[in-house]
Structure 1
């Protein structure tokens, strides 16, 4: 009689385990990306209907600017504490609470908008900023943990592409939503997308949320802030985001004021700059993983190396086809760094404090995003667009120097 051996309790991995892990990884990427897309759309959507909001609340352009800017400011302040908490808790649960927080913030903003209470609208947006930074940091942390080292940058690059997708969604649909349901509805409109993302993310991420081992100590947390490699990569993020927001903020004004294009044409042209980020942020990881065998430094070096001359000569051209080409190439080059830097920074620290390193990168990068439009406006007022773009090009040249000296992380 033949005796069959039951191997269900064997320690050897099942042949289906790699396939199941791969399916879980891409389920995590898809779900987290949908959540982040909804939050990015919520972040930018007031910019699409600013004139309507100003007329309704009787506010000026500077105050109206806080409707978008408050989220960047909140993220800069909240990012590092959020990362420290994520290293000591479950990133999966943090994503759940962030989605619920966005729903509260969106409902609060909707009610406050109907009552014409500007201060409450701003406060609701600050709460939404906390939800945004938690989703961004937790999403990068859990996607990085779920992916293999061979495709980690690719997976994170896909996740970071949710930013420009969300911006395009918010800018494109905001006026339609405001016209149909009233402008306060823009604060609720994208919460549904985050819930859909959560439905995809939650089952796929089971078992991936909690860090292995004990929570990092205060000394280990401090070591991240003293790590020169972390600061180098953080500076690359600061410079990359500064260039990204400078062109986004002042490119359209330059085309309208200096070249005489209509606002509609200028807006359409400058929209190409962030839109190409969907391709750029995903391809940064693919190029790094597949072409350079996981090396990160060549990508950021090439990013600034291409962007610097393009920004420096941007105001020298007036041909529409050339301007389109410049915006596409510059947007692609700048966002190579934005897509890769979050994978890059977590690979130069101990895995136990990887979320803290990502949070630091987020905070430093968004500081550049917060400061660049303000500094750009001052320079434009004082010295004009030509000088502003030259100084932005010099920032890109500084990026080349920093990228040249950037460390190459060991493969995990």
Structure 2
């Protein structure tokens, strides 16, 4: 399903977009990307120092997993309302306010962690989750509107690549920051950097966040929820995010507890998993736009088809080099879907509710990200790592079947 040209929003006419890779486009991607890198690092960094947090606060693995999962849980709830707001307001200004709110949440988390208040830390992370999903949805919306349709998937892929960069930075530097300043410092360390990104983003995004003409009606919003292709893509996003967060949250603990590597080395090696997403998410757009002539489904199928066997056999790989190879390849495969799905879902609805569709994709996808670290912790605690990775691999197999049946948007 797609939208006929006459149904497109007039405010989204070619005259309002840049025709290609102009200087302003690079500035926009740099600013929005730096914000997203910083906030993704803030999002994942507790996973890199989980043993220290458990010892300091006296909590178990499932509860510790909630420190990562709560941000995704609040994002699940807040994403769709955020998309509705972004379709009706100036998304550029809303994004700036969200960055400021995240800075406050980072300082709040640092104070609460120093005081040993687990509940207050969780509350700060919940606020951070609401603000982060606004940044993510608004960033995708603004980048999509800044370029012409023939390079949209590539541009959005570059922006979404900021996510794995941030995850890699958080995984690799979290133990270093904790060793130097104490583990509570991991919270404000990254939200402060986002303010620098805002300085780059603000001038380059001028004129790109305004609401699209008349506010969309409730009926138009309802078309997003009634669109079967939107739901199909949402489930694929759910599975992909679940795999992504499971590997990020428990890969380091597996290497530390089962293989015997140090916490710092484990975090460094697992940082390769999200880091390869820089190549993967950019490649997803290029593969779709150039190699497959705008087709989206082949990229999704390749994503899950490569990830499934790698996750299934992960705990059977006895050597560190094999484990590193599996982390790199599975990280590349899983993030192909994460890079492309946000462009894909915009193409099956009208431009007037495009931000809502992106928000829906974010919400359903992050539901998988929320549940995965918590469910993974419960399985690891009771049954061990072998079964946990086996179940994660089974999710990838389900993704293969769904990707096989994913419909192409009509152009």
Question: What TM-score comes out, normalization by structure 1 length?
Answer: 0.87
Is residue 369 of structure 2 the alignment partner of residue 341 of structure 1? no
Q: Secondary structure at the match of 1:188?
A: helix
CA distance in 1, matches of 2:31, 2:68: 25
CA distance in 1, matches of 2:317, 2:19: 52
Match for residue 306 of structure 2?
306
Superposed CA offset, 1:146-186 (max 9, x none): 12111111111111111121122223333443444444433
> Does structure 2 conserve the Cα–Cα contact (< 8 Å) formed by 1:211 and 1:352?
no
Is residue 192 of structure 2 the alignment partner of residue 192 of structure 1? yes
Q: Secondary structure at the match of 1:190?
A: helix
CA distance in 2, matches of 1:249, 1:360: 24
> Does structure 2 conserve the Cα–Cα contact (< 8 Å) formed by 1:153 and 1:340?
yes
Moved more, 267-276 or 199-208: 267-276
CA distance in 2, matches of 1:100, 1:265: 33
Superposed CA offset, 1:278-326 (max 9, x none): 1111111111112122221111011112122222333443243333222
> Does structure 2 conserve the Cα–Cα contact (< 8 Å) formed by 1:42 and 1:187?
yes
CA 1:376–1:188: 2 relative to 1, 3 Å: closer
Q: CA deviation at 1:229?
A: 0.5
Match for residue 330 of structure 1?
330
Q: Secondary structure at the match of 2:150?
A: coil
The alignment covers a number of residue pairs equal to: 396
Q: CA deviation at 1:135?
A: 0.2
CA 1:193–1:22: 2 relative to 1, 3 Å: same
Match for residue 251 of structure 1?
251
Moved more, 210-219 or 268-277: 268-277
CA distance in 1, matches of 2:66, 2:378: 17
Q: Secondary structure at the match of 2:189?
A: coil
Q: Secondary structure at the match of 1:409?
A: coil
Q: CA deviation at 1:275?
A: 1.8
CA 1:188–1:145: 2 relative to 1, 3 Å: same
Q: Secondary structure at the match of 1:163?
A: helix
Q: CA deviation at 1:206?
A: 1.0
CA distance in 2, matches of 1:51, 1:312: 25
Moved more, 304-313 or 193-202: 304-313
Unpaired runs of 5+ in structure 1?
A: 1-12
Specify the structure having the higher radius of gyration (Cα).
1
CA 1:180–1:234: 2 relative to 1, 3 Å: same
CA distance in 2, matches of 1:68, 1:159: 22
CA 1:317–1:230: 2 relative to 1, 3 Å: same
Match for residue 25 of structure 1?
25
CA 1:40–1:220: 2 relative to 1, 3 Å: same
CA 1:301–1:141: 2 relative to 1, 3 Å: same
Match for residue 231 of structure 1?
231
CA distance in 2, matches of 1:378, 1:124: 23
> Does structure 2 conserve the Cα–Cα contact (< 8 Å) formed by 1:314 and 1:326?
yes
CA distance in 2, matches of 1:225, 1:212: 20
Alignment of 1:164-183 (within 5 A): 164-183=164-183
> Does structure 1 conserve the Cα–Cα contact (< 8 Å) formed by 2:69 and 2:373?
no
Moved more, 45-54 or 74-83: 45-54
CA 1:204–1:73: 2 relative to 1, 3 Å: same
Alignment of 1:121-136 (within 5 A): 121-136=121-136
Match for residue 160 of structure 2?
160
Q: Greater RCO between the two (CA within 8 Å, min separation 6)?
A: 2
Alignment of 1:8-407 (within 5 A): 18=19, 22-54=22-54, 56-57=56-57, 59-255=59-255, 263=263, 265-380=265-380, 384-407=384-407
Unpaired runs of 5+ in structure 2?
A: 1-13
Superposed CA offset, 1:171-208 (max 9, x none): 33334434444444332222332111111111111111
User: In angstroms, what is the RMSD of aligned CA positions?
Assistant: 2.6
Q: CA deviation at 1:344?
A: 0.9
> Does structure 1 conserve the Cα–Cα contact (< 8 Å) formed by 2:39 and 2:190?
yes
